[in-house]
Structure 1
Amino acid sequence: MTQRRMTALRQYARLECPGLWREHAAAQRREVIVFFREASLILADPQNDQPLTHWSLPAVQRLNNTIPAIYAPGDDHEGETVEIEEADMIAALSTVRGALESARPNPGRLRNLMLGGLLALVILSAFFVPRAIISHTIDVVPPATRTRLGEMALAEMVHVTGAPCAAPLGRAATETLATRVFGAASWRIIIVPEGLTHPVHLPNRQILIPAALVEGQDSPDAVAGAALAEGLRFAIEDPLRPLLKHAGIWATLRLLTTGALPEGAMDGYAEALAQATPADIPAEVLLTQFTVAKVPTTPWLRTLPPSTRTAALMDSEPFPAGAPVAIMDDNEWVSLSGICRE
């Protein structure tokens, strides 16, 4: 990274502004908050700051020369755009883009030598900086590819969990649960009949919850807490990271260069994910987010093994009388708890 770009990034660090986001060409524009970060632009829901999409900063393109400025996440943006009127944000994007352009080498007689050096760098990176390659791939993978990888991950999980429980009323109840917990139906909560001892999350905002957790409760509070906690783990670590670490560095390079993983790259991924120990979540983060979502912590904590429960969290229950806003009505809970039996 050039000194000029470093200076630009420091100048505009933590900048944010409102914008109008269109997810694809046929979608309606919606209000978002645009966050300027070191490697990316984050477009988030203004109601709860929940990220909706990440754009790789080097790939961002301006599509017009008027105000509001219209930006796209790259060449293959499929109609996804964001409109920005904030002068400081427009200046930040222009400055960083200019720094990137000035640092980009011009083609010339040393092209072959440079390509050879790049190939050598890639080979060395495969051995010495795999984390950097995986991080870069996560930053630049487009939403359509992330969606496709999420579908592939779910198909792989079925080998361990069996087909997701699919009773129609139960599936409708999972949508109600996702909207209640996350404030967005874009999250997908999936109940699976076997193979898991704890919830896991997949790319494309998918959370898998074992049926035993649902069927063993007399209210939806514990299930809501389990989903919310797994959503927090999603925020702590992008689910593409363990997927790409499992696939390996060469498969990641294949994804980076072609947009697709090689055949067999996900073999064994489901077993590894099911057996992995869930990431710890800081107690203060749990309490804050459960309070914001109006979900009690105690019902969920009681589903955890005694060795993993935190007494301080049990004692700090924000809603000792239960959820102040119902998770769902009784009929929906009956449908959810019977999702695998219908």
Structure 2
Amino acid sequence: MKKTALTRYQRLEAAGLWRANPDAQRVDVIVSVGEATLTITDMRERVQAHWSIAAVARANPGQYPAIYNPDGDPGETLELAEDEADMIAAIETLRGAVARQRPKPGRLRLVGMLASVAAVAALVLFWLPGAARQHALEVVPMVKRAEIGRALLGHLQRVTGPVCEGPGGAAALAQLARRLPSRAGGAAEFLVVRGGIEGALRLPGGAVLINTDLVEDHNEPDVLAGHIIAAYLRAEAHDPLSKLLEEGGLSATLRLLATGLLPDDVLRAHAERLMRDAPEAVAPDAMLAGFAQWQVRARPYAYAEDITGETTVTLIEADPFAGTAPPPPLLSDADWLRLQEICGG
């Protein structure tokens, strides 16, 4: 049990309520899994108790808050709320592992095995997918994220068409990318396509895909810049790779960790969803902070979103550059005209 079930939970912690005896007050504590024990520590990091995992009993199976006590001492209790599901599942898994090692009559042994399997299944179902996804987001390097972004772009291009590469426009687009760098660092990459997406979309790895309507249908680059800022903010709020892995499920995450690759069908399904669903709305306060950060006027974007200004009045009235010196130019007039020709007019 020490080499398998126990070692998986060495860093797991949870908040709980501990009582030394029936007459004592309950105390807020932190519970952690140690070497064959549950360690109970108060908020001042003072150890209050060590419980042997092999001798932990649950007073109310299937009910919440989950109440545990040392076997044979029901007066000392530990309560874990229902939202501490990870710790509850871990304790039940470890108790099940201990139970399997004890000689029991056939029926009791079967009940113990079924409880252990249920606890492990709950752990896999509720804890492992999120933990594996978070681990992947932490360890997958930017180079691999960029590869995933390019593979995803390949599926998007079945609808968007190829990336526009008009020579003068490409140079202007590169200039705009230097003017609007990502806060995550590294060089920004902007790609213009003829359709298939709404506004601008940031891909895993950092490239921003732009609908050519933002370039061709407006007289100034501020509207395009506003959509790029919105794409940045959406990606900061919800990592594009995380969204992809959420949709792909645990098997896709484990395959990425094991091989560095994602299944083609997962990429295709995600591309279809990106083209089908409207972009998430960005709160006006976040947009205004973005306009100030990247030094872009908010009003052109606001009126492009709603020509009446009724639904975007906050952006209009709180434009950080209204009534002040204008921000640095996004592009020269000549570069903007060249960019408008990037897809051939």
TM-score scaled by length of structure 1:
0.60
Q: Based on CA coordinates, which of the two structures has the bigger radius of gyration? A: 2
Runs of 4+ in 1 over 6 A off after TM superposition: 3-6, 119-123
Matches within 5 A, 1:311-330: 311-320=313-322, 323-330=326-333
Matches within 5 A, 1:251-266: 251-266=252-267
Aligned to 2:336: 333
Aligned to 1:282: 283
Distance 2:335 2:327 in 1: 18
The 3-state SS of whatever aligns with 1:326 is coil
Displacement, 1:5? Answer: 9.7
Give, as a single letter, the amino acid of the residue that structure 1 aligns with 2:312. Answer: T
TM-score scaled by length of structure 2:
0.60
Match of 2:125 among 99, 124, 127: 127
Shift of the 319–166 alpha-carbon distance from structure 1 to 2, 3 Å rule, reads same
Aligned to 2:65: none
Sequence identity (%): 32
1:38-91 residue CA offsets vs partner (Å, 9 max, x unmatched): xxxxxxxxxxxxxxxxxxxxxxxxxxxxxxxxxxxxxxxxxxxxxxxxxxxxxx
Give, as a single letter, the amino acid of the residue that structure 1 aligns with 2:314. Answer: A
The 3-state SS of whatever aligns with 2:143 is helix
Distance 1:187 1:282 in 2: 23
1:206-226 residue CA offsets vs partner (Å, 9 max, x unmatched): 111111121111111111111
Distance 1:301 1:150 in 2: 29
Distance 2:233 2:177 in 1: 13
Aligned to 1:25: none
Aligned to 1:204: 205
Aligned residues between the structures: 231
Aligned residues: CA RMSD? 3.0
Shift of the 140–121 alpha-carbon distance from structure 1 to 2, 3 Å rule, reads farther
Aligned to 1:107: none
Distance 2:235 2:310 in 1: 19
Displacement, 1:125? Answer: 5.2
Distance 1:228 1:201 in 2: 10
CA contact (8 A) 2:192 2:210 kept: yes
Shift of the 320–335 alpha-carbon distance from structure 1 to 2, 3 Å rule, reads same
Displacement, 1:153? Answer: 1.3
1:77-124 residue CA offsets vs partner (Å, 9 max, x unmatched): xxxxxxxxxxxxxxxxxxxxxxxxxxxxxxxxxxxx9xxxxx999975
Structure 1 gap segments, 5+ residues each: 7-112, 114-118
Distance 1:153 1:234 in 2: 16
The 3-state SS of whatever aligns with 1:248 is helix
Shift of the 207–236 alpha-carbon distance from structure 1 to 2, 3 Å rule, reads same
Displacement, 1:280? Answer: 3.1
The 3-state SS of whatever aligns with 1:265 is helix
Give, as a single letter, the amino acid of the residue that structure 1 aligns with 2:205. Answer: N
Aligned to 1:41: none
The 3-state SS of whatever aligns with 2:208 is strand
Distance 2:235 2:162 in 1: 22
Shift of the 261–239 alpha-carbon distance from structure 1 to 2, 3 Å rule, reads same
Structure 2 gap segments, 5+ residues each: 1-8, 15-100, 102-116
Shift of the 340–125 alpha-carbon distance from structure 1 to 2, 3 Å rule, reads farther
